Amino acid sequence: MKTLLGYLKQYYGRMGVGLLIKVIGTVVELLIPYILSEVLENVIHRQVKDIVFYGILMIVCSGLACIFNVIANRMASKVSRNFAESMRKDLFHKTLKLSAAQTDRFTIPSLESRITTDTYNVHGFINMIQRMGVRAPIMLAGGIGITLFMDAKLSLVMIALIPVVFGTVIFIRLKGVPLYTKVQQSVDGMIRVVREGAQGIRVIKALSKTDYEHRRYDAVNRALVRDEARAGVVMGTVHPIMTVFMNLGSVTVILLGARFIAQSQSTPETIIAFIQYFTQISMALMAVTRMFVMYTKSSASAKRIEEVLLCEEEITVKTKAEHPDRDTDAHILFDGVTFSYNGKRNNLEDISFALPRGGHLGIIGATGSGKSTLIKLLLRFYDPDAGDIYIDGVNIRTIDKPTLYARFGTSQQHDFLYADTIEENIRFGRDIPHEEVVRAARIAQAHDFISGFAEGYDHQLSPHGTNISGGQKQRVLISRALAGKPEILILDDSSSALDYKTDAALRRALAQHLNGTTVITVAQRVSSVKDCDCILVLDKGRIIGKGKHEELLAACTEYKEISDSQMGGAFVE
């Protein structure tokens, strides 16, 4: 919570004004019972105009208290709203900057939950603490002070209740924080299942597995309900316990008050005012308990938010002294690169190759052979456990991220499209003129089908591009990668949904228009990589074949088997 409260520093001035207004409104409200006791004790026997005057005075105090509280609450609402906006903005920004390994550890559903549900919980607490955090203590302290002045013996009843109340609240809070943490973890699980179901809705329907998905959702939903019930039972005891204490206090005050009146130690007017103050004090105590309950929930959420905000950056820019440059003519150089996701089994082992500027590298291999992992290392989503990667002789660990990523244009099989026009999806927030967008689409073999839409490049895509075919989606994604005129183009299994004719036309267009651009093609099809200057054949994270198509057919058994199984050893252009 300490880190998140730092976001309030810029609002201290506004909060100070709001709290001052709240203090004035609360003090004015505290005067009402005292004025009433004065009327009942000393004014009621005077002239009507005196009674009217005090009545108007009470109305004015009530009106002022209402006005001040409304103003203060509006200011509190604005502060908490702006606070939450700033917090969510930084949390989302931090989420985008997490390394791939950190994202894997947090998981996407958990990060979504932290940005939405957890920030909402903290926002609610900040709002309430400004509304009730001043008013309740003033009502409590002020009420006790005035009642001590009015009748010290009766006020001791309320003073005796305060340690019991706060002791109960603190005990329940200690029990509640772990329970609410578990609730948020269950929310993460439910978001994960909902996310998977929404993304795979077509497959679910095609395989008639809606009942199965219902059961999966029911399982996580029941787990969430169970965890919420546990937290609710514990935290739900606060209000009934406080109500019992307050009622016992009220009964005690009435009994003692009746006795004091009978013994002429007090007056009915004093007891009436005292009961009103006791009601105000009781409401203040209840407000304090509500704040503790909300704090319990928000502290669990704040801890989850801080875990992300305080997460240290893993992929940092290193110095040349740590990772010196290398004298090489290669545009891209892998030197003995080894990497493991879990530190137990190597996903890539001793990968070495050199690719000249303008060269075309193909990477092929079975599923799980390490093809996409190699690309992730080149993009520095992860750092290798051993070995080095160079671009123009510069170790990529020493290149700042904006400079590094600006060199690449990437298209992946499971890349994403968002709900906007085709042109904006290709432009992707970059300052790229329409002519360049069209040029990229022509190279990617997307221009013809885009022009077939009535709106052309202004055709609106649905989220994830579900209103176009898989092949069309891949061509839009390739257009996006080409539009920025990258120095290095990476096509990571991005033509798997294309027919052979379109795939061949794409390869011819890339060869014709991308002179000087280094291209890396990851594919399952031999036809997609057979024209590459160099082809790497991967198996279980190791290079088992390297060379041109004809060389591999002669020297690499695995490559020849893939070629024969796909096209019988022949290719159709």
- 416 lies in a domain? no
Same-domain pairing of 261 and 208? yes
The pTM of the full predicted model, rounded to 2 decimals, is 0.69
Residue 554, domain extent: 319-407+530-573
- 508 lies in a domain? no
Residue 229 β-bridge partners: none
Same-domain pairing of 300 and 199? yes
Q: Is 217 left (phi over 0), alpha (psi -120 to 50) or beta?
A: alpha
**CA-CA distance, 97 to 372, in Å (whole number)?**
20
Q: Is 436 exposed, middle or buried (0-12, 13-18, 19+ CB in 10 A)?
A: middle
Helix (H, G, I), strand (E, B) or coil at 2: helix
Same-domain pairing of 229 and 350? no
Of 241, 274, 309, which residue is a domain's last? 309
- 448 lies in a domain? no
Helix (H, G, I), strand (E, B) or coil at 481: helix
CA-angle at 402, arms to 397 and 406, nearest 5°: 100
Question: Residue ranges of the chain with pLDDT lower than 50?
Answer: 569-573
Number of domains in the chain: 2
Same-domain pairing of 290 and 347? no
The CATH code of the domain that includes 244 is 1.20.1560.10
Of 291, 309, 327, which residue is a domain's last? 309
Same-domain pairing of 327 and 294? no
DSSP 71-89: HHHHHHHHHHHHHHHHHHH
Query: How confident is the model at residue 480, as a pLDDT?
Result: 92
Sign of the torsion formed by the C-alpha atoms of 257, 261, 265 and 269: positive
Query: How confident is the model at residue 573, as a pLDDT?
Result: 44
Tokens 């990476």, residue? 490
Q: What percent of the chain has pLDDT over 70?
A: 97
